[in-house]
Structure 1
Amino acid sequence: MAKAELKTKQKTEVEDSSSLKGTLASVFFLGAFIIVTWVSVYYLFVERF
């Protein structure tokens, strides 16, 4: 026979203490770096010819 499960009435609270502002700033800086890199490589490519 299957054992009866004990049901406990515990409330699990999830705190949303993590802020994503730093993550957003990091993504913007990384995106800007990638865009500047691509534009500079494109400029070097165009100037070659």
Structure 2
Amino acid sequence: MKKAEGRRQKEEGRRQKAEGRRQKGKLLMDSLQHATPCLQTPSNFQHQK
């Protein structure tokens, strides 16, 4: 009985870990996406005065 309970908790923990990793990756992608326009600006670009 106790073994099954422990196994279930382990499985739940593993699922939460995977979910956290997925959210972390999503945040990373969002931050990269946000920075992309700056990175694509040509080096000789000048603002109109």
Short-chain TM bin? 0.5 to 0.7
Q: Percent identity?
A: 3
Please give the TM-score of this superposition, normalised by the length of structure 2: 0.62
Please give the TM-score of this superposition, normalised by the length of structure 1: 0.62
More helix by share: 2
> What 5-or-longer segments of structure 2 have no aligned partner?
36-49
Q: Is the radius of gyration larger for structure 1 or structure 2?
A: 1
| Aligned residues: CA RMSD | 0.8
Number of positions where the alignment pairs a residue of Structure 1 with one of Structure 2? 33
Structure 1 stretches of 4+ with a deviation exceeding 3 A read none
